[in-house]
A and B are shown apart, each in its own frame.
Chain A
Amino acid sequence: MENGKLITIQNLVKHYPMGKGRFTALKDINLTFEKGEFSGVVGPSGSGKTTLLNIMGSLDVPSEGTVRVLGSEIGTLSHKAAARLRNHNIGFIFQTYNLMPVYNVFENVEFPLLLLKMPVKERRQAVLDALEWVGLSDKVKSRPKQLSGGESQRVSIARAMVKRPHIVLADEPTANLDADNSHHILQTMEKLNRDLKTTFIFATHDDKVIQYLKRKISLADGKVQSDEKSPGNRNPESGHEIQ
């Protein structure tokens, strides 16, 4: 990690093939992220938020420019190395939760640790801790289809956090949730960011999310329009407190 930066993006361009030509989804992006940030990429639909998050998460590769995540250059990683980077250091939270339907809550959260080959006892404790962080200690045995949307997203936060990654990437985590649940999970993530110093990067166009962000990167047409730090930007009237 050069100069304590977790993520360094230089002159990033992303093309998608389209018909005979190509479509440029990201144009000359330059950004850095530091440890402990609670930031968001915001912008209208189609502005390239997901594309940017996917590249930072090593699920996709840049067309031009360099993206370094924890010292690894995304474009040059082998499939295996990229998988290892994600497994050890990056947690994902998806709009649609993406829980494994046949596993119960405990097993869903346990899954990344199985891939890390963590010993049983340690693993069990880590899963129980993660479920406590998100307030689901009483749902250990439930199946995903028995959970509400808010609960499902909390399981998915626990799954992202259980291995204590450096970075959590959350793409529209509140898009399927009502206001109460949205605030609840944001407060949960805010607390985890504070307590564990995990870096959170969101992609969103939801105002409820935006008001929690400490840094807001605005994207339009694949370009960075603005990059504002907003410490204590949070709307105090929201009145929701983490339990």
Chain B
Amino acid sequence: MLAIKLAFKNLIGAGLRTWLNAFVLSIAYVVIIWHSGILEGWNRQARRDMIDWQIGGGEVWQKNYDPYDPFTLTDAHAPVPEKFQEQIKAGKLTPILVTSGSFYPEGRIQSVLLKGIDPQQSILKLPAGSLQKDNEAIPAMIGTRMAKNNRLKEGDYVTIRWRDALGTFDAAEIKIARIFKTSVPAVDNGQIWLPLDQLQNMLQMPGEATYLILEPGQNPIKISGWQHQGYDVLLAEMDEIIRRKSIGGTILYTIMLLLAMLAIFDTQVFAIFRRQKEIGTDIALGMTRGQVIGLFTVEGAVHGILAAVMAAIYGIPLLSMQAVHGMAMPEGMDDYGLAGAERIFPVYSTALIIGTVILVMITTTIVSYLPSLKIAKMKPTDAIRGKLQ
């Protein structure tokens, strides 16, 4: 207690230098918490969006289906087993049929994934309900990215071409009934959504599906020929991207922290040299060397406390403002193949804040302690007169 009291007095007495060090350190606090908070917020948001728009509570794949290999699509379909029907009727499971095809926007040929979805489904946020029967053309919906890349508007007609189950080419005209906006590029880029029964007819695959999507919280029914894929598989890629981004962040704030530590280390070395007379006097007045080392270590470590207070003063308003208004994400974030919201709302957990404070306090204490060890080698008789070096 005495050491902390004395340390505060000494630090405050040292004036500007103390505040500069504390300021640099406070930036480290804010950057660490801010960056981790953004990542955590992004992570949660991206997961939520993927669940809402793409994967629901998990998927059940026809055994040949491999989303990374479009050539598998020819074989990746099978009639939806009878055992799934109960869940489907209850709206807890919905089938999707996928095939590759091509379409001709503005006369160019483009390859595309044709996906059939049940207009009644409510598991995904995809607005399948807008795929209403139309006598002139097959109703279709696409995402905004797809629309922008191919200059399509709602109400436009486009020709699509595909091969049916027997390998015969066929073509039809579709009408863009709906353009939807989503943060999940995986349901948008390069794909056209059609009513499931119509796609089944076009492909001559009545009652068939490529995969099914579960409602969150539903347990899959095990059937041979169909494989359940949980979040561990479906979110693995995103987790990996987040992990890589967080390593990048760690490097950033390790540098911040190192800079702050360098400043404190330097201050300590300087203080111990400049204040040797004081150290000698402390010893003459009855302090042990251990106590003096403790005093200087605590003094250095108190930088960490001052910095935390400083960081709180400007960091809390700054970070909480961002938590409320979110942070605008630069365009092109989609290139990560990750659900990219336009605004990220950072999440600051208590564990993150406490962890950061502990991390900073420990490193500050270590860099304050190391230079103080020099005190143990000082001769008090020389120190008192300030005669060292």
Q: Is the CB of A86 within 8 A of B384?
A: no
Q: What residues of B have a CB within 8 angstroms of the CB of A59 in the complex?
A: 283-284, 380-381, 384
Q: Is the CB of A83 within 8 A of B287?
A: yes
Query: Of B281, B286, B381, which contacts A87 at CB under 8 A?
Result: B286
Q: What residues of B have a CB within 8 angstroms of the CB of A88 in the complex?
A: 286
Q: What residues of A have a CB within 8 angstroms of the CB of B284 in the complex?
A: 57, 59, 86, 92, 94, 98
B1-58 interface (Cβ within 8 A of A): 2, 6, 9-10, 12-14
A67 to chain B, nearest CB (A): 15
Contact with B along A80-103 (1 / 0, CB 8 A): 100110111000101010101111
Chain A interfacial positions (CB closer than 8 Å to B)? 50, 54, 57, 59-60, 79-80, 83-84, 86-88, 92, 94, 96, 98, 100-103, 107, 111-112, 114-116, 159
B285 at the interface (CB under 8 A from A): yes
A79 to B292, CA, bound (A): 12
B178 at the interface (CB under 8 A from A): no
Q: Is the CB of A102 within 8 A of B285?
A: no
A218 to B13, CA, bound (A): 43
B228 at the interface (CB under 8 A from A): no
Q: What residues of B have a CB within 8 angstroms of the CB of A100 in the complex?
A: 278, 281
A60-B381 contact, Cβ under 8 Å, with A79-B288, A80-B288, A96-B277: yes
Give the interface residue-count category, chain B.
Answer: 20 to 34
- Which B-chain residue is minimally distant from A103 (CB atoms)? B9
Q: Is the CB of B285 within 8 A of A79?
A: no
A103 to B10, CA, bound (A): 8
A107 to B13, CA, bound (A): 13
A94-B281 contact, Cβ under 8 Å, with A59-B380, A59-B384, A60-B381: yes
17 CB < 8 A contacts A-B: A59-B384, A60-B381, A86-B283, A86-B284, A92-B285, A96-B277, A96-B385, A98-B277, A98-B280, A98-B284, A98-B384, A100-B278, A101-B278, A103-B9, A112-B286, A115-B286, A115-B287
A57 to B278, CA, bound (A): 17
B289 at the interface (CB under 8 A from A): yes
Contact with A along B281-309 (1 / 0, CB 8 A): 10111111111000000000000000000
Q: Is the CB of B13 within 8 A of A114?
A: no
Query: Of B9, B13, B278, B285, which contacts A86 at CB under 8 A?
Result: B285
Q: Is the CB of A86 within 8 A of B2?
A: no
- Which B-chain residue is minimally distant from A53 (CB atoms)? B381
Q: What residues of B have a CB within 8 angstroms of the CB of A96 in the complex?
A: 277, 385
Chain B interfacial positions (CB closer than 8 Å to A)? 2, 6, 9-10, 12-14, 277-278, 280-281, 283-291, 379-381, 384-385
Q: Is the CB of B13 within 8 A of A102?
A: yes
Q: What residues of A have a CB within 8 angstroms of the CB of B14 in the complex?
A: 102
Interface centre among B10, B288, B291 (most CB of A within 10 A): B288
Q: Is the CB of B286 within 8 A of A84?
A: yes
Interface centre among B14, B285, B286, B385 (most CB of A within 10 A): B286
Q: Is the CB of B384 within 8 A of A83?
A: no
Q: Is the CB of B288 within 8 A of A94?
A: no
A107 to B2, CA, bound (A): 13
Q: What residues of A have a CB within 8 angstroms of the CB of B289 in the complex?
A: 79
A115 to B288, CA, bound (A): 10
Q: What residues of A have a CB within 8 angstroms of the CB of B9 in the complex?
A: 102-103, 107
Q: Is the CB of A83 within 8 A of B288?
A: yes
A107 to B12, CA, bound (A): 15
A101 to B10, CA, bound (A): 9
Q: What residues of B have a CB within 8 angstroms of the CB of A112 in the complex?
A: 285-286
Q: What residues of A have a CB within 8 angstroms of the CB of B286 in the complex?
A: 83-84, 86-88, 112, 115-116
Q: What residues of A have a CB within 8 angstroms of the CB of B288 in the complex?
A: 79-80, 83
A80 to B290, CA, bound (A): 9
A140 to chain B, nearest CB (A): 16
Interface centre among A60, A96, A100, A111 (most CB of B within 10 A): A100
B303 to chain A, nearest CB (A): 16
A57 to chain B, nearest CB (A): 7
A23 to B48, CA, bound (A): 80
Q: What residues of B have a CB within 8 angstroms of the CB of A50 in the complex?
A: 381
A56 to B280, CA, bound (A): 16
B314 to chain A, nearest CB (A): 27
A88 to B372, CA, bound (A): 26
- Which A-chain residue is minimally distant from B278 (CB atoms)? A100
- Which B-chain residue is minimally distant from A163 (CB atoms)? B286
A118 to chain B, nearest CB (A): 12
Q: What residues of A have a CB within 8 angstroms of the CB of B379 in the complex?
A: 60
A188 to B15, CA, bound (A): 35
